[in-house]
């Protein structure tokens, strides 16, 4: 059950979990704030914790809300689309079978006659999904072997507030479809981040040391990912 508290005019969701330490997060695209707290922690203690962090919260909300946004895609001729960190112009042609192909500077979309924007979006999204699945599998396997953990598989979906999540008990990872629009190094970082949670469930010093030893430049990659343009997700 999620509780809500208000500190200095800032609404904060509070979620009690079976964890040892309290965690504070500010999520894009709206700057939503969440505190994950141990089940034994009182609401009053959480209020005091959040009040002490209110300056940090407001700074991060400002950063999140000022982050660049992509205007909604219309899937029309010569519209710009991102694939693995690069921009491509959409080229559309009628064909009996729907398919997507990546050219040097173009994203070639073949669609049946009479297709509309929703049809085109679904076709392109499925292509993004296939691209992400092809690249993500080997990366997740690599990091699972590197960290000596068991990994069963992963799913892909649109997520508003996370680039990925993990379920160590089920040995599963979930990835945000939007990752296919960012440079491949961002996917590699998210893969390591989520597999590292199989070893350490939170973001403590031990967790960060795992990232440091396996990907020394992970902070730069994280910043590139979090500062990049976000899609407008309904």
0.75 cut: is pTM over it?
A: no
Count of CA atoms in the C-beta half-sphere (13 A) of 22? 18
Domain 80-227, CATH 3.40.50.300 — does that match? Answer: no
Q: Enumerate the domain spans of the chain.
A: 2-65, 80-227
Whether residue 203 has pLDDT greater than 90: no
Q: What's the distance, Cα to Cα, between the start and end of the chain in Å?
A: 24
Count of CA atoms in the C-beta half-sphere (13 A) of 141? 6
Closest residue by Cα to residue 62 from 96, 28, 11, 109:
28
The whole-number pLDDT of residue 232 equals 38
The whole-number pLDDT of residue 41 equals 93
Give the span between the Cα atoms of 53 and 227, in whole angstroms: 22
Whether residue 55 has pLDDT greater than 60: yes
Distances (CA, A) of 217 to 10, 65, 138, 146, 214: 33, 25, 20, 17, 9
Distances (CA, A) of 79 to 26, 40, 191: 32, 52, 30
Tens digits of residue pLDDT in 115-170: 999 999 999 999 999 999 999 999 999 999 999 999 999 999 988 778 999 999 99
**Averaged pLDDT score across all residues of the chain:** 89
The whole-number pLDDT of residue 67 equals 61
Q: Which residues lie across from 172 on neighbouring strands?
A: 153, 167
Question: Residue 187: CB partners within 8 Å, gap ≥ 6?
Answer: 132, 135, 136, 139, 175, 179, 180
The whole-number pLDDT of residue 234 equals 29
């Amino acid at each position: 059950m999620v509780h809500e508290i208000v500190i200095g005019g800032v609404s904060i969701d509070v979620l009690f979990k079976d964890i040892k330490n309290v965690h504070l997060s500010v999520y894009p695209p709206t700057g939503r704030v969440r505190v994950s707290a141990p089940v034994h922690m009182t609401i009053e203690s959480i209020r005091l914790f959040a009040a002490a962090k209110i300056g940090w919260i407001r700074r991060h909300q400002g950063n999140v809300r000022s982050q660049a946004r992509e205007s909604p895609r219309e899937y029309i001729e010569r519209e710009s689309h991102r694939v693995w960190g690069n921009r491509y112009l959409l080229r559309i042609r009628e064909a009996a079978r729907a398919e997507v192909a990546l050219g040097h500077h173009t994203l070639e979309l073949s669609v049946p006659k009479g297709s509309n924007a929703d049809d085109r979006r679904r076709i392109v999204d499925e292509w993004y999904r296939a691209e992400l699945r092809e690249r993500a599998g080997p990366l997740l396997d690599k990091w699972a072997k590197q960290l000596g953990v068991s990994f069963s598989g992963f799913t892909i979906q649109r997520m508003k507030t996370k680039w990925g999540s993990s379920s160590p008990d089920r040995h599963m990872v979930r990835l945000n479809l939007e990752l296919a629009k960012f440079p491949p190094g961002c996917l590699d970082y998210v893969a390591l981040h989520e597999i590292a949670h199989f070893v350490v469930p939170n973001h403590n010093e031990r967790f960060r040391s795992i990232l440091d030893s396996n990907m020394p430049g992970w902070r730069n990659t994280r910043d590139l990912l979090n500062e990049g343009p976000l899609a407008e997700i309904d």
